[in-house]
Structure 1
């Protein structure tokens, strides 16, 4: 995974890219609505778009949002104090088994790697939901610096079937995949832990 400094450097302009807000809102809106989840976890929250969308849409008892970038968390925390913001790695998550109802990861799985998926499954309760996005391979053109730091255990998928395989390989079921068209193409993946 890229170093925190890389994300710290982009924190001040992160919100200028409308892609992040659009993806976060679509991920939350695409969940199978469960009334008032106990815990929603937003992994690699950036400046908090998905965490805030979950807070506003799902009415959870608690939202925990983590990111390895202290500057991203600082920017996110300035938006609301109703989320538990934490500087922490995406893997492992400092949560007990089966603690979460929902795990979100907007626009970051390709930066974290495949090891995130079994960790999400571990912290989700039976029947818990995951929603993540990942770029479309044909549209993903990282800078040389970013490309050098990407995980090698996860390929950016070329099609919806490839995005679905990512979730199924980690043991998730009821997998649904859609493709966004704007502002950049991404796959939105929704899945559940077996009940």
Structure 2
């Protein structure tokens, strides 16, 4: 009985020593574990220590595996998320490309419409300028027509007044037009005709 207790106490002491050695191995730099391992080999319980060491190694392997599995799952989740993001990015890229294509198409139509509008405005300006010039020329032509009528109806004195008015008031306003030059060149003849007929008839 006494011997059994002693063996049990010794076994507990050995187990505690082995545990201490294992902790020391786990926490010590590998360059410094030589003396620790030597104490194992010097003792008689070398086989039991190796069993404990194997058990400890298996426990650590399981812990490492759990950790790897945990991190691997995180890695897999990250890859899955990245694949989703890539899919969304591709969709977004397709949408941007489609929008760009539509904008290009509509932009062309807008450019064409703007060009047409520009041409219309240019024509409108030209028409407006032409109307303004015609409005400036119209009184001259009306006055000239009146002069011709007066000369035809032999009203020479009013014709002289009209001719004078035409020469000094109306023709200077349109002097840069070719028809005006023709009229100006013809004025001496008209005066002569009016004066001659006014004097003799």
Q: Shorter-normalised TM-score: what interval?
A: under 0.3
Return the TM-score normalized by structure 1.
Answer: 0.19
Structure with more strand by fraction: 1
Structure with more helix by fraction: 2
Return the TM-score normalized by structure 2.
Answer: 0.18
Q: Which has the larger radius of gyration?
A: 2
